[in-house]
């Protein structure tokens, strides 16, 4: 599984790198970042966090703004940030160029509808290809992988964590889309990628997965800003709270006063999330 090094830089005693490779899942080139803490130089395999970004983002948003490197260096955590969708020549996009579908908005599903089915296979990429690629090229322990994400990426983290609790041992999210089957972003994305059969949507809806019997490996942490402009229409955290209460899932839902949907919010609570995962990995 060859990868190309785009750049590396020293940070908090570790190394922040950006890498490219040809993806078998998406049939495109894919770019991701990896922060290796200083413990990577000692030897042995380290726990890893996979962070899934939100709409319009690439690997670079959290890499540049996430403020995770210091705490990852302290705790010996590898932090990985993949892209949010396939990109490149021939990759289908929203015909109107909308921000919430197509490029930058893969929604972490395997599309079944044309013209998206050929390349939009982010589910397979995150669940299978990326962990194998990391294990082949970096000192990571595949038995100690946590997953977290923001907004659309929070949706991806929750659905992957619920579906594969044997692979993703810890789970958290920032302002996730918890029930895409019940909100406009999800109706557009799941309908466009998966078609009109709403039964197929349930596999990519955290609330529906919990209702259908899926459970995470352990407790779940979610932070949500109460000044988030998407809170009422698109995010609806109360639906996740209700589903978890009904199913006995251990959810810590923290509504943070005054915080919005931006990386000002995410960076403020990132250390809490890294420590949450470290305690479980």
Catalytic site positions: 151, 228, 261
Please name the residue that has the structure tokens 């078998």.
24
DSSP state of 21: E
Whole-number Å distance between alpha carbons of 210 and 216: 9
Q: Quick check: 215 and 247 in contact, CB under 8 A?
A: yes
Tokens of 138: 């970096």
Whole-number Å distance between alpha carbons of 173 and 179: 14
Whole-number Å distance between alpha carbons of 96 and 211: 35
Whole-number Å distance between alpha carbons of 259 and 174: 11
Q: How far apart are the first and last CA of the chain?
A: 26
What number of H helices and E strands is found in the chain? 10, 9
Determine the 3-state secondary structure of 52 from DSSP. strand
DSSP 119-138: T-BHHHIIIIIHHHHHHHHS
Whole-number Å distance between alpha carbons of 222 and 243: 14
């Amino acid at each position: 599984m060859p990868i190309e090094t785009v750049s590396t830089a020293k940070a908090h005693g570790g190394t922040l790198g950006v890498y490219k490779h040809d993806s078998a899942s998406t049939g495109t080139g894919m770019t991701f970042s990896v922060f290796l803490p200083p413990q990577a130089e000692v030897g042995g395999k380290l726990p890893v966090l996979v962070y899934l970004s939100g709409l319009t983002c690439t690997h670079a948003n959290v890499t540049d703004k996430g403020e995770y490197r210091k705490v990852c260096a302290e705790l010996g955590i590898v932090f990985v940030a993949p892209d949010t969708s396939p990109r490149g020549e021939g990759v289908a996009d929203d015909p109107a160029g909308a921000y919430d579908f197509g490029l930058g908005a893969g929604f972490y599903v395997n599309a079944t509808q044309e013209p998206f089915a050929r390349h939009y296979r982010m589910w397979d990429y995150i669940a299978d290809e990326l962990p194998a690629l990391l294990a082949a090229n970096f000192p990571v322990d595949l038995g100690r992988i946590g997953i977290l994400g923001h907004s659309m990426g929070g949706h991806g983290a929750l659905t992957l964590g619920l579906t594969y609790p044997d692979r993703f041992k810890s789970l958290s999210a920032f302002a996730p889309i918890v029930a895409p089957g019940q909100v406009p972003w999800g109706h557009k994305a799941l309908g466009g990628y998966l078609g009109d059969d709403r039964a197929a949507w349930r596999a990519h809806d955290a609330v529906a997965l919990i209702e259908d019997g899926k459970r995470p490996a352990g407790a779940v942490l979610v932070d949500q800003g109460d000044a988030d402009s998407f809170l009422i229409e698109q995010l609806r955290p109360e639906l996740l709270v209700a589903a978890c209460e009904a199913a006995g899932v251990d959810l810590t839902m923290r509504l943070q006063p005054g915080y919005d949907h931006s990386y000002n919010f995410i960076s403020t609570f990132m250390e809490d999330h890294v420590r949450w995962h470290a305690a479980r990995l």
